[in-house]
Structure 1
Amino acid sequence: MTIKADWIAVDWGTSNMRAWAMSASGTVLAEGSTDKGMGRLTPAEFEPTLIEVAGDWIDGPTTVIACGMVGAKQGWVEAPYAAVPCPAMGHNFVTAPTQNPDLTVHIIPGVSQASPADVMRGEETQIAGFLARNTGWDGVICLPGTHTKWVHVSADEIVSFQTCMTGELFATISTHTVLRHSVSGDGWDQAAFDGGLADAMARPERMAAQLFSLRAQGLLDGLGNDAARARLSGLLIGAELAASKPYWLGQQIAVIGAGGLSKLYVDALAAQSAPATQVNGSAITLAGLTAAYRLLKG
C-alpha cells in the first residue's frame, strides 16, 4: 500500500531518528526509524538519511517538521536557541538546505538560559506538545533522561530550567568505575532504591562517600548486584531531587519520558509528598511536532 504523507514529523536525536508520515489532520499514517543519529552524520548526509526512512511517503511537495539535535551546530543546519523567557514553540524555525525540490524541512530551535547557563534541544517540543494538550497549565515539567530537565512553565512560556546529568552519571559510574563490579545486570530491588533515595534526600552532601559503600557492602555484607544497582539509582535521583527542590516544591508537576524511568521519578516525588502526572514521551513529542506544523501553517 502506497502512503502519501501530507507532512512528515521527525525527532532526530544524537543516536537515533524517528519519523512519522502524517495526515493534515494530525493522524499517523506510518512510521519509521534509523540508528543514524546526528552523531553519525555530516550535514550533507542528513537529507539522504531522511529519504532512506521517509522517501516512500513523498509524492509531490512535502513539508517536514524536525526537532532535536538535527538543529545543533553539528547537525543538518544550526537552529539558534531561543532565550528564556520564551514560548515553548516560537515562530523562529530554520529551513534546512535540500537537494530534493519536493522537500521543505523546517527545524525547531532549542532553548537557552543565560544564568545559570543551560540549553535544551528536543525537550522544548515535548513541552509544547504537553501545553497543546493541557491549555493554561502552570507548574514544573520534569523530563528524565541522560540529562534530566526541570522546567518552570507559566503563561505558556518556559520561564527557567535546570539540567541534571543524573542519567549520564549513572551510566558512567556503572560502567567505568570500581562500582561496575557491584551493579552489573538489570535486576531491581525497590526497597534498596527507596533507601538510597531517602539517604540522599536527607544528606545529599554525603553521596560521594555513600557511593563507595556500595562496593564495600558487596564485599563485606554480601549486598547483591540488584540491590546495589537500585540503591545507586536512588542515591543519584535523591541528590537530584534535593538539588532541584526549589523547582518542584509546592508546584504542579508533570513527568514526561520513557515509562520505566519516568515512574522512578514519579514514585520518588510521591515519597516527598509531591504528586506528579506521568506522560508518555513519544506521544507528547509527536503532539509538539503537530503543534509546530499547525503554527507554521497558521
Structure 2
Amino acid sequence: MRTIIVGTRQSALALTQTGQVVELLKQLAAEHGIACEFEIKKIVTKGDRILDVTLSKVGGKGLFVKEIEQALTDGDIDMAVHSMKDMPFELPEGLVVGAIPKREDARDALITRGFSSLDELPQGALVGTSSLRRASQLQHYRPDLRIESVRGNIDSRLRKLEEENFDAIMLAAAGLHRVGWQDRISAYLPPEICLPAVGQGALCIECRGGDAFILDLLGKFQHEPTALAVRAERAFLGRLNGGCQVPLGAYASVSEESSGSEGPLLTLTGMVGTPDGVTMLKESASGHDPEALGKLIADKLIAQGAETILAEVRE
C-alpha cells in the first residue's frame, strides 16, 4: 500500500478540485487493483501571498506553481494538482505532466449586480478583473467600460462585487462550476468576444518523470481530446514566451468526427492585444498536429506585431 501525497494551493477552489481529482483517482486505483491511499498537502505560493498588486506587476512565471514544483522535486509530495492556465510552458528538469483530465467549461463568466449580459451593462460600468487578457478583450468590445483590478480567491472577489461598487466582475466559469456556484453566473462570454487563457478549464496533474508507479496510475486518468487541445494552446504560449500575466489567449476545439489516419482535427484561435484593447490581433487555423498548429497561429500574430505588444507589456 503506497501513500501518495498530493500537493495543492490552499484556496477553497484548489482544495475542491484536488479533492475531486483524488476521489476519481481512488476509483481508478480500485478498478485496476492498484494499492494506494492519498493525503493532501497544502502549499502557499508567491501568487497567493501577494494580493495587493496585479499579476502583471508581480512579474515572473509560475506564480502559483513554483513552490509546489519545488516540493515535488524535493520529494515532499508525489504529485500536484494545478489549474493548467497557471502552468508555465517549460517545466523544471525531472518533472512532467502526468495527466490532463477532462476539461471543464473553458469560457470566462460575468457576474453582475442585476444585469443579464455584457451588452446590458450601462455606459461606463465598472468591471473588476485581475487579468490583462480579459481587460484587453473587454475594452476592445466595450471601450466605454471602466476596468479595475480585483485579486483574491473566488469568494473574496464575489464579496468585492457587493462591497466595492463594481457593476460586474469576471471569473473563469470552470472555477465557479467546480465549487458549485454556477448559479452566480450572469452570462458566459463566448470565445468570439473573450478568448480564454491557455489551458483555462483544464487541470494539470504534475509528477516526477521517474516515478513509474504514479505515471502508470495517471496514464489511466488522461483525457486525450483535452490533452490535444491543451497541447495546441501551450505550443502557442511557448512560441510567444507568454504567461498568465500578459494579454494573450488561445482556445482549441477538437472535432471527433474528423478523426482519420492523421488523428482528430483541431481548430485553434489565438489572440494578443494591447492592455487598452485598442489593438487586437487574432488568428484561427485548423490542423492535425497540435504543436505545429500552435506555432502556426503564434507566427501569424508575430508577423502582425505580437512580440512588440508583449515586450511593451513586460516592460
TM bin (shorter chain): under 0.3
Greater share of helix residues, 1 or 2?
1
TM-score by length of 1: 0.27
Work out which of the two has the higher radius of gyration on C-alpha atoms and give 1 or 2: 1
